[in-house]
Copies of this chain bind each other. A is one copy, B any other.
Amino acid sequence: MSDLIHITNDILEVEKIVSLVSHPELGGISVFIGAVRNRTQGKNVVRLEYEAYEPMAVAEMTRICNRLKEQWSDARVAIHHRVGILTVGEAAVVIAVATPHRDHAFAACKFAIDTLKETVPIWKKEVFEDGEVWVAAHP
């Protein structure tokens, strides 16, 4: 696990993650922050529990970075994902992509989060006042 790809129990610090990709020749930085929402389907979320199959999650995140750099060869990218117990409003994932120009930064950052949501083995359990559910588990 490098600095750029990181799974942690700690609060994600956006400024620090941005500084990992910022570079004098890269003028556009697109950051995505996925935060814990309060309500899904009308129920109050008390907290969320994120669980990772950590070595594979790191491997998948590394594959995402490699695929991203195949398409945007001058990009720098960092993906940090939080696990453990999160409360509403906190960031679960922060992705930062720096490229020379902004259009590539947006496209590459969107590619990273879209792919992460499909392939990275991290699971989210929503805990409500009256129960809990693994998100997306059932049709």
Contacts and interface: CB of A to CB of B under 8 A. Distances in A.
Q: How many copies does the complex hold?
A: 2
B31 A35 contact: no
Q: How many of chain A's residues touch chain B, expressed as a range?
A: 20 to 34
Interface string A19-47: 00011111111111111111100000000
A84 interface: no
A32 B29 contact: yes
A13 interface: yes
Nearest to A30: B32
Contacts of A25: 37-39
A127 interface: no
Given A22-B89, A25-B37, A110 B106 contact: yes
Contacts of A26: 35, 37
Given A22-B35, A22-B89, A30-B33, 8 more contacts: A14-B18, A24-B39, A26-B35, A26-B37, A28-B33, A28-B34, A32-B102, A106-B109
Interface of A: 13-15, 18, 22-39, 88-89, 98, 100, 102, 105-106, 109-110, 113
